[in-house]
Each structure stands twice: as C-alpha cells, then as structure tokens.
C-alpha cells in the first residue's frame, strides 16, 4: 500500500537469536523444554491452589494469579519463536507485531504490579499481623489484582499508540525474536521524543516497582531484626523466594527499558531472562521452598492414584 512517496511496511523480519542452523536447533530444544516447564509447572500451581482449601490465604491467591500471568507472558513469544526456529520463517505481519507488542507489555507490566502487591502482602503479614486479615480480605485481593491488570492495560495501550502513530516505510528487520519497543527505530520519522516517552513509560514503571519492592523487604528486615521467631523465619523464607523472582524479572527489564530503544547485541539475550527464565523459575522457587505447596502436591498425587 502506498501513502504519498512512502511504501507502507506490511511485515517485519525477526532475526532471532542466531543464524547458525546448529544453534537454532539447540535454541529450539531449550525453548521447547522451557515452555513445557512453564506450562506444566504453573498449571500445576493453579490446580493445587484452586483445589486445596488449605491454600486459601491471600499469598496463594496472588501466587495463582502470578502463575496465570507467567503462562500468558511466555505464550505470547514462545510459540512463534519455536515455529521460526524449526521452519526458518522469520516474518511477522505488521498487525501481528503490534499485537505482540501490546499483549507483551500488557501482561509484563501487570506482572510487575502483581509482584509489588505480593511484596505488600508479605509486609502486612509480617509487620502488621493483627490487621492482616482485615487488610488482605478476599475483596481487597480481587481489587488489587484488578488494579494490576488495569495498570498493565493503560501502560500497554500508551506504548502501542505511540508506536502506531509512526510511519513505517523503510527497513523492517528487528534484531530479536519478538516485537518490542525497539521497533520504533525502524520508523521513517524523527523518533527521539517517542523513544524518550516510551523509555520513561516502561523504564520508570520497572524502576519504580523495583524500588518499592526493595523498600518493602528492607522494612521487613528492620521490623524482625533481633526477634526472629519460627514464624518470622518462615515468612522471611517466603520473602527470599520473592527476592529471587524480583531479581530475575526486574533487573533485565530495567536494563532494557530504562533507556531509549536500541539494538545492543546483548539485548536479545537479556530478554530471554524475563520472558523465559523467570517464568520457568517461578514454579520451582515457590514449590520447592513452600512446605504447604509440597504437602498439597503429595495429597493431590495420592488422590490421583486412589
């Protein structure tokens, strides 16, 4: 389609992680295993939390939502990556690219907000135990989760609209395996302001949530310092697993988004951490470090065998 002297781009080419066929097969195997682990592990957590009445606390309600988000986040990128690695077909339609950008930021920013809510849940449980039941009532939990999704939608729609308003008429090669904010660099216009706005939008959300999370864990440590009971040790163990998730997810996001979109060679490998590694680690961290979840898994196994 032609607009003036410009030819509208109808598709983009995702170069992926490597051009070497042997490495592509290796990446295909690793991505397939990781995607299978994400699906099985997070679906198992959702099943356990939904079927075991003993896991009805707000923490496990939020964990169930985190597992659902992880499934969505990985499913936005992994299937297309697997098809591209196996078939060599690297093209993605313009509409598909914009849809991928929208849903990836929608789900990703929702996860950032949800991890912040989970940190608030741990802070309330440890620092204000007498008020925990009232503060984290079921209705309040639903409202907090809804706010996470609403915040993610607002963030994502801003990113997508900033991208859609740009004209794309020249290069269409993306140095990565999914469509992200770096696509604005391909526009046939001065994108300095747009890049700054997008970096501010994504980067400041990532950094802001990360600062709130670190502050909440610092307050928890200050609160329980010098009087660690058995219950406090258990709560701190849960916080430790949250810190691992936060580190795996937020640090790469801050590195990628707290600067104008670019094409550093390391960017596409850093993206693997928060799109693949973090969703894989979440089920392992939460199940292996939670005695209640392991007991629930054992009860579910015995029921299935009966």
Mean pLDDT, range 253-273, rounded to an integer: 75
- Give the model's confidence band at 5: pLDDT under 50 very low, under 70 low, under 90 confident, else very high: very low
Mean pLDDT, range 245-272, rounded to an integer: 77
Q: How far is CA 171 from the centre of its chain?
A: 29
274-283, pLDDT tens digit by residue? 888 888 887 7
Mean pLDDT, range 50-67, rounded to an integer: 87
- pTM comes to 0.88
Mean pLDDT, range 136-158, rounded to an integer: 94
User: Which pLDDT belongs to residue 174?
Assistant: 85
Give the 3-state secondary structure of residue 46. Answer: helix
105 within 8 A of 202, measured Cβ to Cβ: yes
Closest CA to 107 of 279, 284, 300, 280: 279
Percent of the chain with pLDDT over 90: 25
User: Which pLDDT belongs to residue 113?
Assistant: 95
- Give the model's confidence band at 68: pLDDT under 50 very low, under 70 low, under 90 confident, else very high: very high
Domain ranges of the chain: 11-299
Mean pLDDT, range 218-242, rounded to an integer: 66
- Give the model's confidence band at 186: pLDDT under 50 very low, under 70 low, under 90 confident, else very high: confident
Pairwise CA distance, residues 154 & 16, whole Å: 29
> Which residues have C-beta within 8 Å of that of residue 287, sequence separation ≥ 6?
41, 44, 45, 293, 294, 297
User: Which pLDDT belongs to residue 27?
Assistant: 87
User: Which pLDDT belongs to residue 294?
Assistant: 74
Output the average pLDDT for the chain. 83
Pairwise CA distance, residues 225 & 77, whole Å: 42
Q: Is the pLDDT at 103 greater than 90, yes or no?
A: yes
Give the 3-state secondary structure of residue 192. Answer: helix
User: Which pLDDT belongs to residue 225?
Assistant: 67
Q: Could you say which of 3.40.50.300, 2.60.40.10, 1.10.10.10, 1.20.1070.10 is the CATH number of the domain covering 11-299?
A: 1.20.1070.10
- Give the model's confidence band at 253: pLDDT under 50 very low, under 70 low, under 90 confident, else very high: confident
């Amino acid at each position: 389609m032609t607009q003036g002297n410009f030819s509208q781009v109808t598709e983009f080419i995702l170069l992926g992680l490597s051009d070497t066929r042997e490495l592509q097969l290796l990446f295909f195997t690793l991505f397939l295993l990781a995607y299978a682990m994400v699906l099985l592990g997070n679906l198992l957590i959702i099943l356990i939390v939904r079927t075991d009445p003993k896991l009805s606390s707000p923490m496990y309600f939020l964990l169930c939502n985190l597992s659902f988000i992880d499934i969505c986040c990985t499913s936005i990128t992994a299937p297309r990556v697997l098809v591209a690695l196996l078939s060599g077909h690297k093209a993605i339609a313009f509409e598909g690219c914009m849809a991928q950008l929208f849903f990836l930021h929608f789900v990703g920013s929702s996860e950032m907000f949800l991890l912040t809510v989970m940190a608030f849940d741990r802070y309330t449980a440890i620092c204000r135990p007498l008020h925990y039941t009232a503060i984290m009532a079921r209705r309040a939990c639903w409202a907090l989760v809804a706010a996470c999704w609403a915040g993610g939608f607002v963030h994502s729609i801003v990113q997508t609209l900033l991208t859609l308003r740009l004209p794309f008429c020249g290069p269409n090669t993306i140095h990565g395996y999914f469509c992200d904010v770096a696509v604005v660099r391909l526009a046939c216009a001065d994108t300095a302001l747009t890049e700054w706005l997008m970096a501010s939008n994504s980067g400041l959300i990532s950094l802001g949530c990360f600062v709130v999370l670190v502050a909440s864990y610092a307050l928890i440590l200050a609160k329980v310092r010098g009087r660690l009971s058995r219950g406090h040790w258990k709560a701190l163990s849960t916080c430790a697993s949250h810190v691992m998730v936060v580190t795996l997810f937020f640090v790469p996001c801050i590195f990628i988004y707290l600067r104008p979109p670019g094409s550093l060679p390391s960017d596409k490998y850093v993206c693997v951490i928060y799109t693949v590694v973090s969703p894989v680690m979440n089920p392992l961290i939460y199940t292996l470090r939670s005695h209640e979840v392991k007991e629930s898994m054992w009860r579910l196994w015995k029921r299935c065998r009966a």
